[in-house]
Structure 1
């Protein structure tokens, strides 16, 4: 066989190995590999044409280019997730150096050209002069997409470090060590503060300047120390529980809630002493304990339970989360909406705390998951592993939020965020604690981001993926936080969605059966109100929707609309019995007798932004204004002629009142005078069913029987752009997100559509 044929065959074999490596590392596209190289900070360049030649065996790459390609392929783990780009000296690269040399030795020499001598393989290839040099431990600088960068290494520990805890202001960090000592460090300087304290994990700082430490000799006891003097500040707080797994300070009482490894929970209160908290933790007991941002104390266990330890809530037959088999560690998010778990085999997952929430697998760790922690805003999840890495996840999607952190050379045992989310600390078998700081990220500048910005500036909304609800959707409403989108359906159910991903947040709520026309969140987001088939109201905690209370309305016909006053102190209901009733949402008690004035069904309600007026709309063709606190009708005539007024809405500044009318028009008035405004127009070819102002006051949206959704510029009264397409039947309801960036449309065709209408 001639030399050229031999070389060609070996080149194809070499290319096949490259293809196998690419397949093994997630089969990234050529463009993805080129983009990864460009942002890796390594000066590696991988043009698409060059990659095509290499993977197809069309030509032999130069040494530097080939090694750059291999390094980028190895910057993905076996699950296809991004990890750090290996340095030139990484042992997995040696085989590729050796094989390139052997292949180069067989390459035929072109006539008139000397054969290129292969690069010596006695050591790692030299760094290009423009490539960032590695740090003192041989690791490369973090890539630009990193969320956190290391700023301090606390190395003066004599043995394995187990856990970390931040003070309330983030100025101090406490670390626990195998030598049963707790050390305090200044986060700004990295210097140790005073002498070590006797004790072990868990450790908790209190706002009044104490640190609570578990006694290493008696792990059922907690000892308080003064942070300033490092002297014990009183006797041990409690005894008599199993070894302590987790500890949470109760700032309202000055007490401490302790979770034992055996599953028991105990509250120590300085006023009453020890007090066991009665609840049924299940056979495995809880594994995680957290105090949520709204003051609840939640515990979660691998058996599928999530318990609110201080609230009387009905028990349900089905677990609130699916059982988590083999969970070694768990964590609850500060907003109480998510549970994360990790197992000894390296697998991990994320799921909502609502019934039916799907499990989102977190793949990437290659050894036991040792610790989990949510960021204070519940948006990030950090996981640590015996594989020596710390991974960051987007808690909404379960996708990696950044490349793994690889500063440790041993198993990573503990992780926590500072209270403001700016710092991250990790503890490891390598006897160190690493302190990371959040990286300031620049605004996105991709072509896609620029295109979206251009479209929005031209008032051209962009549609997110369609959500199929399986039944006609009648009403939609955003929670004040913007994190929940609620809808009602023709099948008398309530559905909760993640507004961004479109994922269902739990199973449909069908108990009690819900009339679909009325849906409202309270201004503080603590209540979700719907109308029940028996003419009562159902009030739910949207973060715990399986629990609810019922308020009898006294209406003699179906409830068609619910509205909360801006201060949340009053709730109004409109009914097919032609009356309006006012309620105290806290007690469920009515304010006086019904408001009468309509002669047919009342189907629209809206409070003015200052709460001084309540507008109502009816099938009788009337739009009436009320003084809700005086319970009187305001004598102003808003003339619509004839036909049903289906919906009313006040502008955010209170200077406009809009109505959607049966003749297809959208009309506006000055509510204080009743004067019509010129921007009113015929909008829809069928009845207009709903209107909504964007919270920033720039746009009015209307929806109707013709399936069209229109946006109106309030400054000019002109229609913005074009009708939002897609619905195959009438659009019943509209809702803007609190930041005015999203518009949700509820269709009788069974679809929920979400439009990006602003940049927030």
Structure 2
């Protein structure tokens, strides 16, 4: 075919490759005087009505695919047919990409983890764009991925596999004959003939496994062997095949290789973020438990004095302050409350700690000395359930079992205005918006109320939808969302500007949802529950990310973040040992704290302290 002129303008110059569907040539576009790549789809050659139907479908779907315009997708310039009569063969004209295919690179063995993370994220970017346009690839494999000399990924052949299937229908990809896709990379549901976008993610999981280990997750002598393996066998962990692969890579790849598509990453965009975090993840710590790579928040390892953790232990109201970096207490125990402390809050500057107790009082503590500041704040007539500082530190809000919310001036210890009334049962949680213009309260009366803290007046109507007690609240860092937890086993998201729910309730826990916490980048919500798990949710989709983080035996697990600190997972052992983890990397954050108390142990992370005085 060398020298042949296709479509009256594309001169074939040099064959670049050949596969099951045809040949790829470097060609010269004689009209525009530029080099191009031409794929000649020989699979559709042949006469009869079936060949005509297949060619027509190929041209139709190639036109759809040509709509994709993305820097990681090879651009389609033109399409046409060569030959006459029953020997007509379609061809596809694409940009000519100078680079090397991953299939060629793999001949030299496994690829370095940073390169795999970087290239995998770009593949996901391409898939996300295609999936948003309603186009699945169906044949992700090394030979369909090119890497340019500058390290840019180019994904080839979107839609070509389906277009070439002579049995494709609107509701089923193939009935018999041609297997759509490449068996070593084929998702179980695709092998059954029912692919979906996450089938592409499964194929990418096979590809990532191969890139980091140098071999495929399943070994088989033939097509049926591969299909059987995808359908019935569990893949090995990559680290069992190749050395020095961190647990977070095992976790990511094995999640992609789940048989059930719903247990994989929800979409390609989320997976791209996870891979980019892997590209920047710190070195693994030996014997660290495997946690899912989920959050874009990757906190630095704490320095001494940079973050403090407050713990409330037992029912006598005793508190301790700990240095996260050393795992050691920084002051003597904080004593003065005569009842259990339910909630704590650091001031935005990290200098004060506010605590609310069953003894009906609120106390303020000097963080540097561990001593009380002023007299206890009195006025509530029942247990103080929650405390929260305003973003500027000038107000302290408290909620109580006495059905009221109170505002205080922490500088003087005096109340500000009259109690906020309207709830008909215990007010379990309060939270300020990031701009300080709203105060939210949640109650056992199942409602959420919004207040203007400047006037003490309600804002809008109560937020209704929970069918059980509303327990805790948190505003997203950008203030656009309010999250609530409830005894109805759900968490909910709300638009505080309108008071309307956002999306559906977040269901996944099997017991009371105690608390909610956002990641600093607004992308994730963490929830913890009486079922002893922490779940992580993608805010954009409302979908769960990864597997639950489960409490140690006879212990507790929770999630938290400070005003300007990272989102952290906290495990509390039966002996009261507190361990913090960065869920973004699966790495421990700081040192374990030995409280020598039985759970439950309340925990609260301070704002980052030392950075305020750095040059």
Normalising TM by the smaller chain, what interval? 0.3 to 0.5
Q: TM-score, normalised by structure 1?
A: 0.36
Higher strand share: 1
Structure number with the bigger relative contact order (C-alpha 8 A, sep ≥ 6) is 2
Q: TM-score, normalised by structure 2?
A: 0.44
